[in-house]
A and B are shown apart, each in its own frame.
Chain A
């Protein structure tokens, strides 16, 4: 069970995201939720691997948000990549604003 805690996203969180898409009377088997959990973890590993390869080629040690966005695009998730780049840009803007306020 400890291994599951390390390598899988919490099933309750996964289920909550699935529910947003599904009609109220939809039923999901436990196996389907578990499969979705496994797929989500595999997605993270797959994209991270691609991002990490890029870092390695560029002699960088730290995988950052830009690397994730690049990897998403490289692996065919172009629509995600566009959304994530906007999200990342906004995230950095907020961080900069907060840093200025603290100074």
Chain B
């Protein structure tokens, strides 16, 4: 299997720019998504690097709109949750934002 570095070198510095996310980490997350996921082409994490960028940008934009509705300039977790609730394609995140434990606080059962 080709090393992701080969693709990275092709793209960095060009119009497509360097990758914003570590490809090895993306690949690890992909593998954890299911036991069926065994082989991943070199280009798949690169595609995800860009797709995640689009996703994070969209969710951030929508969450910020929620922040502004509260007439404040500090985004909180609740703003991200509200953005998820009001966007159909983010339905898969509803369980996550409703129940995400706060890693900074004591764990709740």
Contact = CB atoms under 8 A, between A and B. Distances in A.
Interface of A: 5-10, 13-14, 16-18, 20-22, 25-32, 34-36, 38-49, 51-53, 55-56, 61-65, 67-69, 72, 75-77, 79-80, 83-84, 87-88, 90-92, 94-95, 98
A31 B14 contact: no
Contact of A68 (B44, B76, B97): B44
Contacts of B33: 44-46, 48-49, 52
Contact of B25 (A9, A22, A80): A9
Contacts of A38: 96, 100
Given A13-B21, A49-B34, A63-B37, A83 B50 contact: yes
A39 B32 contact: no
Given A9-B25, A39-B59, A46-B92, 15 more contacts: A16-B20, A22-B60, A31-B102, A32-B80, A35-B81, A36-B56, A38-B100, A39-B96, A40-B56, A42-B96, A43-B52, A52-B34, A68-B48, A80-B51, A95-B7
Contact of A72 (B28, B51, B67, B88): B51
Most buried by B among A49, A56, A75: A49
B38 interface: yes
A84 B37 CA distance: 21
6 closest A-B pairs (Cβ-Cβ)? A45-B33, A64-B41, A76-B89, A27-B74, A65-B43, A31-B77
B75 to A, nearest CB: 5
Interface string B71-94: 001111101110010001110110
